Amino acid sequence: MTELWGLTQAGLWRQLDWMLLVVGAWLLIGLAGVAALRRFTLVSHVLFPAGGVLGLALFGLALPAVFGGPQTVVLPVGLPTLPFHLRLDSLAAFFLMVIGAVGAGVSVFAAGYFRKAEGTPPGLLCLEYHVFLAAMTLVVLADDAYAFMVMWETMALSSYFLVTANHRVPEVRRAGYLYLTMAHIGAVAILLCFGVLQANTGDYTFANMRAQHLSAFWASIAFLLALLGFGAKAGLLPLHVWLPEAHPAAPSPVSALMSAVMLKTAIYGLLRVSFDLLHSQVWWWGVLLLAIGLATALFGVVFAAVQVDMKRLLAYSSIENIGLILASVGLALVFTAYDMRALAALALTAALYHVASHAFFKSLLFLSTGCVLHATAQRSLGKLGCLIRYMPWVAWVTLLGVLTSAGLPPFGGFVSEWLLLQSFLFTPGLPHSLLNMLVPLAAALVALVAALAGYTMVKFFGVIFLGQPREDKLAQAHDAGLWERIGMLWLVVGCVGLGLAPVQFIQSIDPVTQQLVAAGLGRTVATGGWLLAPISVERASYGPVIFLLGVAASFGLAWLMVRLLYHGRLRRAPAWDCGYPWQNARMQDTAEGFGQPIRQIFEPFFVMRRELPTPFDARPRYRVVVEDHFWRWIYLPLVGLADRIARLVGLLQQGRISVYLLYSFATLITVLMVVRR
């Protein structure tokens, strides 16, 4: 604080100092929420919007910091010999931009989302929410292992309390316990990773870790520990099991923040360790990360395609997108190991672009499910339909998020996936014949994942908003409120802006790739004007403005032809319905039916339980329950082993004082024997 006060007096405030003020203001908002524990109007209509304004301020501070040099500060808190070290550089600034931009939209949406008498009191929810935002910000700013781990655990605990906001429901409590368990498994691995990186020097600052030159063996150990620790938080296969349980349990704004932002802190941590704290990269690190990332992406999208719960569908979709991001990072590691810096910058740009794009469209989709949930009290896709008639505003906004998630132009999701595929096209230059043979297979998997993602988004939007209502009470559904609309519109601006200005965005993240791999695409894309050409215009280019002009011209030509040929006549008629005009809601395709082809093709991925009707059922129904193999292969055996160990330990508790005295006597004799030796 002395340093901050000196900077204030001298008028030399930097972005890092202002960011600390934003963090402090978030904490003050949380404490104000506790003071106004049950004053719902104050919490929802004053404190949450104020948090959104601070998120916007963080975004505004981080944007110029991407282009600036590193800024450091040492805070007088922490251990006596290890105070908190904070550092703002280009990599940290990029992720702070994502946290601030998405946090602003979600906070404003939350002002209209939370209701009275829903689980946790609103003031306590306000505290947990803003501590969560502050902890994520400080995780990215931390410049020593102690500060990082304290903020990492604060982030995990605050998000746990947010997940279990409706803690009276047993399923919610179970989901929270599972999430907390996986978070702590990952935290232990990260702590061990930092122990390896400090190389037995006793100095746990990141500056000291950068100064160490580990052997290939110990560098590989550090990388594998980082992959385990950050992979548990990101939802990498097979550490993904908490994600589809926690997201449906959490309130929708919390799900949006966790999926869109918290998962990205794990990406940040992996990038920080792999490219910044470790001096050399080994080619098989990238191959391993590429393989796990693609397996995670395929697994996530296949499971998303067969889900019947809209929030579980989006949770598995997040697993898919995290897999694609990590596949991009793996490819960047391979290129860096062979000193192909320009191609490493291309793959890393694709990863960072998808980080930002996924943050916007996934938070938008989770907020859309929140609107649907409040309007219908339904999360099951099988009980929704035709909501575009009753919730037109939410439907059209959701459509933009769906198009972005499906990777269609001219939105941000298309640009990031296109850049990733461009990275694969240049891999034949690798000086490794086996990799040159395997990479086309990886590119085909990326294309398959992209196609299945589009299939899943068609199911998501079509079943919820199109067709006929599957329940009579859907006619009472209401559209989003003002606060909710403002928050969602801000996220729509992000989805559209990332699609229409890819050249400008790539130039803004060029300092990040320069910092990590000593190369960037900024100068290359600048020569293409509005055409995005990652290598050269002759090799491949994409022009979003040209694409939009082509679409507009097509629609204009169609409108003109209709006006000329039909002279403005308008005729309304029922849908053809394949020649059968008396269809009802039970005849249209269901969420289960839509996912059936995927279940058939990818049947080895699933554990399927079929519940068949009996002759005595009043309303016969056929139901298929899809489960995860990893529960049976890994987690249930571990639970059984832990239970058996607990039973054995429980035998020590006899409840008789004589037995406990015998334990004490045996322990004393053992200690004396050991001491004598």
Kindly report whether the peptide bond that precedes residue 581 is cis, defined as omega within 30 degrees of 0. no
In Å, how far are 391, 409, 477, 562, 595 from 253, measured between CA atoms? 19, 27, 20, 44, 27
Specify the residue for token string 């990141």: 206
Tens of pLDDT along 415-428?
A: 888 888 888 877 66
Q: Which structure tokens are listed for 527?
A: 């020569």
- DSSP code of 590? P
Q: Which residue has the higher pLDDT, 402 or 9?
A: 402
Closest CA to 334 of 222, 270, 430: 430
Q: Which residue has the higher pLDDT, 538 or 525?
A: 525
Tens of pLDDT along 464-517?
A: 888 778 877 888 888 888 999 999 999 999 999 998 888 889 888 999 999 998
**Residue 9 predicted with pLDDT over 80:** no
DSSP class per residue in 465-489: HSS--SSGGGGG-----HHHHHHHH
For the ranges 78-87, 267-276, 518-527, 637-646, the maximum mean pLDDT occurs at 267-276
- Residue 424 confidence (pLDDT): 81
Closest CA to 210 of 66, 85, 351: 85
**Residue 400 predicted with pLDDT over 90:** yes
- Residue 422 confidence (pLDDT): 85
The CA-to-CA distance between both ends of the chain, in Å, stands at 53
Burial environment of residue 176 by CB neighbours within 10 A (0 to 12, 13 to 18, 19 or more): buried
* β-strand partners of 84: 75
- DSSP code of 427? G
Tens of pLDDT along 549-587?
A: 888 888 888 878 877 777 666 677 666 666 666 677 677
- Residue 290 confidence (pLDDT): 92
- Residue 5 confidence (pLDDT): 35
Name residues whose C-beta falls within 8 Å of residue 171's C-beta, 6 or more positions apart in sequence: 249
Name residues whose C-beta falls within 8 Å of residue 451's C-beta, 6 or more positions apart in sequence: none
Give the SS3 label for residue 14. coil
Name residues whose C-beta falls within 8 Å of residue 64's C-beta, 6 or more positions apart in sequence: 15
For the ranges 12-21, 164-173, 223-232, 650-659, the maximum mean pLDDT occurs at 223-232
* pLDDT, averaged across the chain: 84
In Å, how far are 70, 148, 616 from 139, measured between CA atoms? 16, 5, 58
Lowest mean per-residue pLDDT among 197-206, 219-228, 631-640, 650-659: 650-659
Burial environment of residue 476 by CB neighbours within 10 A (0 to 12, 13 to 18, 19 or more): exposed
Confidence of residue 634 (pLDDT cuts 50, 70, 90): confident
The pTM for the full model equals 0.90
Specify the residue for token string 């045996």: 666
Confidence of residue 613 (pLDDT cuts 50, 70, 90): low
Residue ranges of the domains in the chain?
13-278, 281-569, 602-676
CA–CA distance, 359 with 600 (Å, rounded to integer): 32
Closest CA to 148 of 159, 157, 138: 138
Closest CA to 467 of 527, 533, 381: 381
**Residue 1 predicted with pLDDT over 70:** no
For the ranges 227-236, 277-286, 617-626, the maximum mean pLDDT occurs at 227-236
- Residue 139 confidence (pLDDT): 95
- Residue 538 confidence (pLDDT): 63
- Residue 319 confidence (pLDDT): 93
- Residue 230 confidence (pLDDT): 94
Chain-centre distance of CA 105, in angstroms?
Answer: 16
Tens of pLDDT along 297-353?
A: 999 999 998 888 889 999 999 999 999 999 999 999 998 988 888 889 999 999 999
- Residue 152 confidence (pLDDT): 94
CA–CA distance, 95 with 380 (Å, rounded to integer): 34
Confidence of residue 611 (pLDDT cuts 50, 70, 90): low
CA–CA distance, 361 with 260 (Å, rounded to integer): 8
- Residue 8 confidence (pLDDT): 38
